[in-house]
Chains A and B, each alone.
Chain A
Amino acid sequence: MTAITTRPSAGRDPALRRRRRRTPLSWLRRGGLSNLVFLLPLLVIFGVFSWGPIVESVVMSFQRTNFVVTQWVGWDNFAALLRDPLVPTAVLNTGWFALLALIFGYPIPLVVAVLMSEVRRARGLFSALAYLPVVVPPVVSVLLWKIFYDASPRGVFNTILGWVGIPPQPWIQSAATAMPSIVLEATWAAAGGTIIIYLAALTSVPPELYDAAEIDGAGIRHKIWHVTLPQLRPVLLVTFILQIIGTAQVFLEPFLLTFGGPANSTLSILQLIFRYAFQNSIGVDYGKATALSLLLALFLALFSFVYFRITKAWSDD
């Protein structure tokens, strides 16, 4: 949001001038019609495919729809969620995914990015290599990793483990290792993006800060600890919350790798919403699905709000 605050103040003046000059003229001659024509695509597309559905999701959470009749059911959908034993399972699984994704995917890109920022020759090659997995369509990488995760001793990863004398692992076939395996794949697919974001932030650290630290006799470790990391803090804080918001809505990886199994051990919240709405054996339940997605959105909004409050307090110190 920094760019909003840096919006040039000069931009405000022409608007004022224009308004003063043009107030006597009619709406049409002021270009009112053409203004509307230019805004029309945005208004129509956002109205129908964004603002409308957002309002509708709130409405639908309090309704039951079976295509023919729609009736208001008050808090029934939310009560039904409380009774469903799959909801706590999905919440815990998603939390476990988010935690593992933080452990795997948060510190490593930082270390890699700091190291990469010191590369003087062919840094483009390093960046390209790190970013390459991000460019691969997620479905392709998930299906590829599904083949890597073949639990037989002849599977790709089990062959590699065999070279160093580790017995074959069940990977996505067992409830204990399925989630870490999914997170490993997700980290492979996403880490490059985080590395590039950090790298962009690292190269814009003001050089004077390092010069000043050196005058004070700081070594490399001190400079990284007292200059680099504090300068990266805003970016680190933002990538943290973005990662939480992203992982809370994880769908593709468990859906394609394990389909929520074994025994619902990798069923995520979004997968449960998807089941309620589109895969329910006893018929669609749009009300329950929108109620759960609304709860998830409210939780994320609250979490982000509290998070920014707390981190702002830190920055103010």
Chain B
Amino acid sequence: MTTTTATPSGAVDAGQPVVVDPGRRRRLRHSSRPESDERTAVSVAERRRPGIRIGLGTLHLLLLILLILWGVGPLLWLLKAAVTPTQDTLQAPLAVFPHGWDWNNVVAAWTQVQIGTQFLNTVWVALGSWFVQLLVATTGGYAIAILRPAYAKVVNWLVLATLFVPGVVLLVPLYLTILHPPVIGHSLIDTFWAVWLPAGANAFNVVLVTRFFQSLPHEIFEAARTDGAGPFRLFWSIVLPMSKPIIGVVSVFAIVNAWKDFLWPRLVLTNPAVQPLSVRLPNIQSQTDLGVFLAALAISMVIPIALFLGFQGMFLRSAGLGGAVKG
């Protein structure tokens, strides 16, 4: 990290261990030697003993079956029930299509219950929150880690301090802030801004990005400055392109959290026309046909699950990171 000849790609590699340690170690080992050589409690020699091999194999098979039943079972049931006639689901919930299937549930959920509107709202909420979080975290992280004015230390300390304040404390005063925001003069209730703007005050993102920026080789920035790059050009053309890994991690966190959030959007988005799925679904349960409601539930989880299946590695690395960073 102290070499002056570091290239941008090398810099990303050098920067990574500080932030993305657990995942990277695993990936590194995968690339440097075959997976079967990885060392855990059971040694290769022990693995060759028939007793242990069969015992371990049985345990793993059992684990796999349990994971499928526990992890995927309920979701498969939901997918099945979404296209099963309501009466069948009520009479025999675990029978597999006793009287064929019924796509009308899905159609009705999209058209009659207008889950499509809520679906779009959810996308808007997620995209806006993502943008605000990324803007705050990258510009703030850049100022704290690279520009480093004298007062940045205090700002950084203040941001870190909010990590130790549980979210419950913010609930009421934040609500009143949205009701009577400063400067703007009119309430933000029932506008997406009410969700987007508070999402940006996420200390975890700032910490992640700041640490990543701190681990980038400063020699590159010095060189760019010598070549006449100003702070904006340095940010846009050098720092951001080098930070794709951490921007990916923050993006995953931001979009998934926005998709999951319930309490806050419920408070500030009271008009069904702007409510995301998570807020709308509990409200429609009582007056919606069970089959249609289950179809609506199934539609609501399609995007998160598709994102997960598409970016599995990034999700799991971010999840492992949760423990490492908060530690």
Contact = CB atoms under 8 A, between A and B. Distances in A.
Interface of A: 1-4, 6-8, 10-11, 14-15, 31-32, 34-36, 38-43, 45-46, 48-54, 56-57, 60, 112, 114-121, 123-141, 143-145, 147-148, 154-156, 159-160, 188, 192-193, 196-205, 207, 210-211, 214, 220, 223-224, 227-228, 234-235, 238-239, 242, 245, 248-249, 251-252, 256, 269-270, 273-274, 277-278, 286, 289-290, 293-294, 296-297, 300-301, 304
Interface centre among A118, A192, A201 (most CB of B within 10 A): A118
A39 B74 CA distance: 46
Listed from nearest, the 10 A-B pairs whose CB atoms lie closest are A200-B320, A42-B140, A207-B39, A200-B22, A197-B323, A53-B173, A50-B201, A56-B173, A38-B143, A45-B200
B143 to A, nearest CB: 4
B262 A252 contact: yes
A143 B262 contact: no
Interface of B: 1-2, 18-19, 21-23, 25-26, 29, 35-36, 38-43, 46, 52, 56, 59-60, 63-64, 67-68, 70-72, 74-75, 77-78, 90-94, 132, 135-136, 139-140, 142-144, 147-149, 152, 155, 158-159, 162, 164-177, 181-182, 197-198, 200-201, 203, 206, 211, 214-215, 218, 221-222, 230-232, 235, 256, 259-260, 262-263, 267, 277-279, 281-282, 285, 290, 293-294, 297, 300-301, 304-305, 307-309, 312, 315-316, 319-327
A249 B170 CA distance: 12
Contacts of A249: 166-168
A159 B75 CA distance: 17
Contact of B92 (A131, A141, A154, A273): A154
A3 B325 contact: yes
B40 A301 contact: no
Interface residue SS majority, chain A: helix
Chain B residues touching A, majority SS: helix
30 contacts: A1-B327, A2-B324, A39-B144, A43-B155, A48-B177, A49-B198, A54-B169, A57-B170, A60-B173, A112-B63, A115-B60, A120-B35, A125-B64, A129-B71, A131-B315, A133-B71, A133-B75, A137-B304, A139-B262, A154-B91, A156-B93, A160-B94, A197-B324, A201-B320, A203-B29, A203-B40, A205-B40, A238-B327, A293-B168, A296-B166
Contacts of A147: 290, 294
B214 A11 contact: yes
Contact of A117 (B40, B172, B259): B40
Contacts of A197: 319-320, 322-324
Of listed B18, B166, B326, residue having the most chain A CB within 10 A: B166
A104 to B, nearest CB: 12
Contacts, number: 337
A220 B41 contact: yes
A230 to B, nearest CB: 12
